[in-house]
Structure 1
Amino acid sequence: MILVSACSSNNSGGANTAGSNDAGSNSAGTNSASSSNTAEESIDPLGKYDPPIDLTTVRSTLDGTKFPKGDSWDNNTWSRAYEEFLGIKIKNNWNVSNAQFDQKMNVSIVSGDLPDLIPVNAKQLQTLVQGDMIEDMTEVFEKYASPMLKETMAANNGLPKKSASYDGKLMAIPGYVRGNDDVDMIWIREDWRIKLGLPEPKTMDDLVKIILAFANDDPDGNGKKDTYGLNLNKTLWDGYSGLRGWFNGFHAYPYSNESTSMWIKDKDGKLVYGSIQPEMKAALAKLQEIYKAGAIDPQFVVYDGPKSAENEKNEKTGVHFGHFWNIGWPIDPTDKQKNPNMEWKPYPIVSVDDKPAQVAVVQPQSTWFYAVKKGYKHPEALVKMLNLYYEKLYGETSEPSVYHTQIIDGENYGIFPFSPVDGQVPQKNLNAWRLLQDAFKSEDTSNLNPEQKQYYDAYMKYVKDKDVTNWGADRTWGPEGSYSVIANYTDNKLMLTNEFIGAPTPTMAQKGSILMDMEKQMITKIILGESVDSFDTFVENWKASGGDQITKELNDWYAANNQ
């Protein structure tokens, strides 16, 4: 599957290579508290523990993940690398699907049954800090982090570190920073669009016509009315088959799949909640109209992401909103192999009027953090693991064909998600796309790093050799790939960033999930036919049920942090 993590535009990894596994290097097991300044200065960010140490963690997994033969979440390329290069033996206490992870982790936090390495969201991190359940990582990070890791955490005026800091103390290490990569775009069955003689979508009216035609005009040519236009799933906000981009096209900004509320500025410069603004109502009315026309599968209310994906993999739906990686999952080269005429193309979101549509950047900082259980003897192990992850994917000794994506017997396997820690160099994917466009034209790869060269080779295999297994490289990195859409957003300043990037406020922590559930129910019911005016009732209830207090708390936070 052609997915991407990150590749540094500045490949200045740790001074020692990831291949350095000298047992005599400065591991935490051999550094004493009385080490001299000279010894501290010579600490190896990738030093190997000798003897090896044990580290427990837990995993959030994606349904349908493909492993190379013999591999699993417990034994894979990354788990073996952490043991080989760092002397860290990883044990997963448990693993559950993404949909169940937050609930399972909440139970672990309440019970105190925590692993050594704890992956958490922002709200869970706040709970761990308040309960004094995790290690202060401030000194450990400064002492052991590689130059590349430090540079990444200092990006965007230090926003990644700030998002994991409490009272000036770094209490966790941020993971993958979503930022500009995880924004919505429109994915369309391009062969269907062309077959039906429909124009490319430039406006919301164009898009609605495509959605309705895909449901009514027999795009698959089987003589039956058995297709839908717009693919959805019950969560509404996933990075695949969600609705964020739809609402953004109406200049509306509801909450997101990360359970994160979207806050924007009003005309007076005050923060207001995107989901209660009047622009939402028009977007809901049009959605209801499309549903009544039979262009949305009515079973979406019970579909999770993988189940909704079956509609597209079975060629029964032709439009969805989602992120750049949708061409790696759920759509992948096996679909193209089954039907060589099938083509998907990503488009920028479209506007309902003459005002350009801005796509929401809900999380400019990380939504995922790695904390260390209080009392664990080797808190620096987390930092070393991140050092290795960055080095193997983005550093001078990077090996993307081993640690990012492996091609085995003609099938692509995304390897990077198997690591229990992850991270991203800011803007690396967009920078890679720009470099690749020049390389595709000149066929000169001298300016590409190893990861970028891998993408170049995959693209050329598809374009020149017609190797369908590399179709995803074209749809991601090619001139019309998903990163061309992100480049368009960036170059034309079409991204609207969430104004709130702090930890949950007291009322948000207490009532936020209830309010979000209320919102989700309102949207679902209106799509299914309830009066659009029930949106007004929702707004009143939201305000009275804690929303007004959250708004006050957020504006107080904004005033204190934006002097």
Structure 2
Amino acid sequence: MGKRNVKLAFAASLAAMMMLSACSGNSGNGGNGNGNAASNGGNASSGNAANAGNAGGDANPLGKYDPPIDLSTFRCMNDAETYPPGDSIDKNVWYTAYQEELGINVTNKWTVSTTQCEEKTNLSIVSGDLPDFFPVDTKQLKNLVDAGMVEDMTEVFDKYASPLVKEAYAANNGVATTAATFDGKLMAIPGTTRGLNNVDMVWIREDWRKKLNLPEPKTMDDLLNIIKAFVDQDPDGDGKKDTIGLTMGKNFYDGYAGLAGFFNAFHAYPYTSASTSMWIQDKDGKLVYGGIQPEMKPALQALQDLYKAGAIDPQFVVYDGAKAAEAENQGKAGVHFGYFWNIGWPIDGMAKKNDPSIEWKPYPVPSVDGTPAMVQVPDPTAFWNFAVKKGTKHPEAIVKMMNLFFEHIFSDNAEPEKYHSGTVDGKSYGYFDYAAVQGEHPEKNQIAFRKVSEAMKSGDASGLNPEQKKYYDALKKYQEGDLTQWGGDRTWGPEGSFSVLENYKDNNLIKINEFLGAPTNTMATKGSILMDLESKMITKIILGDPVDSFDQYVQTWKQSGGDQITQEVNDWYAKNHQ
């Protein structure tokens, strides 16, 4: 989902009180390409900082500078970003908190649209016109490290990071810091992590399934039959053959209406996002790219069969996420693969109030055979890393800003309505997106789900923090008949999306990319070419090319840089897994 759609999701989810925890821009390409990451910290100029002795030398994670210090950054923001009256990207709740709580004056050197972010950042790197701290992707960070332009943050992080931040970054064997680590040194502070929440599940029009007396999708055959029936058996009851079985868009690895979960059902693991390829171990322990393995072929055959059966909109080849969602919003489509937040967008979490008969239900990805399907995780390292310019007087200040974000968003003292999302004069705002430094606790949502579930069973909500209490209250209201809380039930309830994620985790059904490093040299130069090659292959086979043409694609992929990338990936793996 593109960043614009992420904001729409937050607006819907706020109304349903069910998605306050999704601080990062959920992965995917929705309508505008790879518009991931939450607000992207930014640039300004190196301020006249206090001397090193006043750098919070007591190592207090939230120690305040006295006198205050100045830090510069730059920001890459969505064009559709909105602010409460009187606020802006230069003046908002987070910049005020930096001043009042930490004694840090943050100045934005420049602000650009997310569509211009990569180019503008690259120009700043090449010219050396860098602020004190700034967001970079893993490729940009590698270039900065190679050029000796950024601070080694290893000791600074160890000394100043709060226990909560350290806990979050140590989760899942510390994968969040992997891409920011070079030769054992932490060269940036990881920002918004992709986490383990961003995996596919199957969203189904449950009222249609029940109306047609179809079994729940325990197997892939069950699901394929549901998809076809939603086209052939008039599930909306209008007497016309005008419904779509499987919603798809042109972005095959999106967080909404993508195909990663479909391929996973066949034990195939292609790209995880627009920029990250999925690497798995072969029988000899070597890393291989999942998208060129033979398991792809039966999945491609199944997609072609669905297309021939009229179960896929022929216009999918030109649809972005927003366009693909129109059929569902109009009540004309019944199945898609996507992430937990799809109940906030494109499914309207308030829709049941207007139409009590409607019902969407998320299911785990089923398997094509007797082996349970494992769902692939988009790179669980950071979308963005916050790099600190070499020579910046107070590198520890960036760590303190991360500590503050975690304190106000994730701690037991969190104030989500002030710092995460809120409503002013009936209009919703995502305050989290204004923060110049931000991260995510990869297990936070699942912890909240477990605690809320326990509270619902016991009736005792005394152990819930303010955010969790909101989810609890939403579920209680839904149980009492408040249909405006349907979105909360579909997220945090016993049949909600987090119950699906819990199923994956309880049964070890999550497959993590084995390559977590910065893009290799050949990835940087040829990765986009290879992905485009794959996308065209998938499209052509769905539309009718022989499935065996996949074999020629594999050979072309290898000869066009794939073999070299495979060697580089295995070199990295050998170096980091000794």
TM-score range, shorter chain: 0.7 to 0.9
Matched, 1:538 2:558: no
Alpha-carbon shift at residue 343 of structure 1 (Å): 1.8
Taking the aligned partners of 2:50 and 2:344, their CA distance within structure 1 comes to: 43
Q: Provide the residue aligned with 1:527 in structure 2.
A: 542
Aligned pairs for 1:96-107 (under 5 A) are 96-97=113-114, 101-102=117-118, 105-106=121-122
1:338-386 CA deviation, whole Å, 9 max, x = no partner? 4332221110001111111111123233232111344555433322221
Aligned pairs for 1:468-507 (under 5 A) are 468=484, 470-507=485-522
Taking the aligned partners of 2:202 and 2:113, their CA distance within structure 1 comes to: 30
Matched, 1:230 2:246: yes
Q: Provide the residue aligned with 2:72 in structure 1.
A: 55
Contact 2:343–2:487 (CA under 8 A) maintained in structure 1? yes
Q: In terms of mean alpha carbon deviation, does 234-243 or 113-122 score higher?
A: 113-122
Please state whether the residue corresponding to 1:241 is helix, strand or coil. Answer: coil
Aligned pairs for 1:438-449 (under 5 A) are 438-449=454-465
Q: Provide the residue aligned with 1:32 in structure 2.
A: 52
Equivalent residue in structure 2 for 1:88, among 97, 105, 111: 105
Taking the aligned partners of 1:70 and 1:297, their CA distance within structure 2 comes to: 45
1:295-326 CA deviation, whole Å, 9 max, x = no partner? 22222222222232223222222211111111
Contact 1:74–1:91 (CA under 8 A) maintained in structure 2? yes
Q: Provide the residue aligned with 1:318 in structure 2.
A: 334
Equivalenced residues, count: 538
Alpha-carbon shift at residue 82 of structure 1 (Å): 3.4
Alpha-carbon shift at residue 50 of structure 1 (Å): 4.5
Q: Provide the residue aligned with 2:442 in structure 1.
A: 426
Alpha-carbon shift at residue 140 of structure 1 (Å): 3.3
1:476-514 CA deviation, whole Å, 9 max, x = no partner? 111011110011111111112211112222222232222
- Relative to structure 1, the CA distance from residue 349 to residue 181 in structure 2 (aligned partners, 3 Å threshold; closer, same or farther) is same
Alpha-carbon shift at residue 49 of structure 1 (Å): 6.3
Alpha-carbon shift at residue 76 of structure 1 (Å): 4.4
- Relative to structure 1, the CA distance from residue 525 to residue 105 in structure 2 (aligned partners, 3 Å threshold; closer, same or farther) is farther
Q: Provide the residue aligned with 2:564 in structure 1.
A: 549
Please state whether the residue corresponding to 2:57 is helix, strand or coil. Answer: helix
Alpha-carbon shift at residue 200 of structure 1 (Å): 1.2
Contact 1:182–1:361 (CA under 8 A) maintained in structure 2? yes
Equivalent residue in structure 1 for 2:359, among 326, 336, 343: 343
Taking the aligned partners of 1:314 and 1:107, their CA distance within structure 2 comes to: 44
Alpha-carbon shift at residue 546 of structure 1 (Å): 1.6
Matched, 1:279 2:299: no
Alpha-carbon shift at residue 107 of structure 1 (Å): 5.2
1:210-259 CA deviation, whole Å, 9 max, x = no partner? 21222233322233333211112222101111110000001100012151
Alpha-carbon shift at residue 51 of structure 1 (Å): 4.4
In structure 2, the gaps of 5 or more residues are 1-12, 24-46
Q: Provide the residue aligned with 1:382 in structure 2.
A: 398
In structure 1, the gaps of 5 or more residues are 8-26
Alpha-carbon shift at residue 391 of structure 1 (Å): 0.1
Alpha-carbon shift at residue 411 of structure 1 (Å): 7.1
Give the alignment's TM-score, normalised by structure 1.
Answer: 0.87
Equivalent residue in structure 1 for 2:282, among 266, 271, 277: 266
Contact 1:28–1:49 (CA under 8 A) maintained in structure 2? no
Give the alignment's TM-score, normalised by structure 2.
Answer: 0.85
Q: In terms of mean alpha carbon deviation, does 130-139 or 442-451 score higher?
A: 130-139
Matched, 1:366 2:382: yes
Alpha-carbon shift at residue 436 of structure 1 (Å): 1.3
Taking the aligned partners of 1:73 and 1:40, their CA distance within structure 2 comes to: 30
Aligned pairs for 1:199-278 (under 5 A) are 199-278=215-294
Taking the aligned partners of 2:462 and 2:390, their CA distance within structure 1 comes to: 47
Taking the aligned partners of 1:65 and 1:200, their CA distance within structure 2 comes to: 40
Contact 1:235–1:257 (CA under 8 A) maintained in structure 2? no
Alpha-carbon shift at residue 438 of structure 1 (Å): 1.3
**What residue identity is the alignment partner of 2:113?**
V
Taking the aligned partners of 2:466 and 2:402, their CA distance within structure 1 comes to: 19
- Relative to structure 1, the CA distance from residue 168 to residue 266 in structure 2 (aligned partners, 3 Å threshold; closer, same or farther) is closer
Taking the aligned partners of 2:205 and 2:90, their CA distance within structure 1 comes to: 37
Matched, 1:514 2:529: yes
Q: Provide the residue aligned with 2:319 in structure 1.
A: 303
Q: Provide the residue aligned with 2:43 in structure 1.
A: none
- Relative to structure 1, the CA distance from residue 73 to residue 518 in structure 2 (aligned partners, 3 Å threshold; closer, same or farther) is farther
Taking the aligned partners of 1:243 and 1:460, their CA distance within structure 2 comes to: 35
Alpha-carbon shift at residue 136 of structure 1 (Å): 2.9
Taking the aligned partners of 1:243 and 1:325, their CA distance within structure 2 comes to: 16
Q: In terms of mean alpha carbon deviation, does 199-208 or 506-515 score higher?
A: 506-515
Matched, 1:163 2:156: no
Aligned pairs for 1:178-217 (under 5 A) are 178-217=194-233
- Relative to structure 1, the CA distance from residue 293 to residue 68 in structure 2 (aligned partners, 3 Å threshold; closer, same or farther) is farther
- Relative to structure 1, the CA distance from residue 46 to residue 387 in structure 2 (aligned partners, 3 Å threshold; closer, same or farther) is farther
Alpha-carbon shift at residue 141 of structure 1 (Å): 2.5
**What residue identity is the alignment partner of 1:554?**
V
Please state whether the residue corresponding to 2:52 is helix, strand or coil. Answer: coil
Percent of pairs identical after alignment? 58
**What residue identity is the alignment partner of 1:88?**
N
Taking the aligned partners of 2:60 and 2:538, their CA distance within structure 1 comes to: 54
Q: Provide the residue aligned with 2:469 in structure 1.
A: 453
Q: Provide the residue aligned with 1:331 in structure 2.
A: 347
- Relative to structure 1, the CA distance from residue 64 to residue 210 in structure 2 (aligned partners, 3 Å threshold; closer, same or farther) is farther
Alpha-carbon shift at residue 540 of structure 1 (Å): 0.4
Taking the aligned partners of 1:101 and 1:472, their CA distance within structure 2 comes to: 33
- Relative to structure 1, the CA distance from residue 363 to residue 173 in structure 2 (aligned partners, 3 Å threshold; closer, same or farther) is same
Taking the aligned partners of 1:100 and 1:544, their CA distance within structure 2 comes to: 32
Q: Provide the residue aligned with 1:18 in structure 2.
A: none
- Relative to structure 1, the CA distance from residue 529 to residue 421 in structure 2 (aligned partners, 3 Å threshold; closer, same or farther) is farther
Taking the aligned partners of 1:310 and 1:65, their CA distance within structure 2 comes to: 23
Contact 1:46–1:387 (CA under 8 A) maintained in structure 2? no
- Relative to structure 1, the CA distance from residue 413 to residue 212 in structure 2 (aligned partners, 3 Å threshold; closer, same or farther) is farther
Taking the aligned partners of 1:426 and 1:108, their CA distance within structure 2 comes to: 31
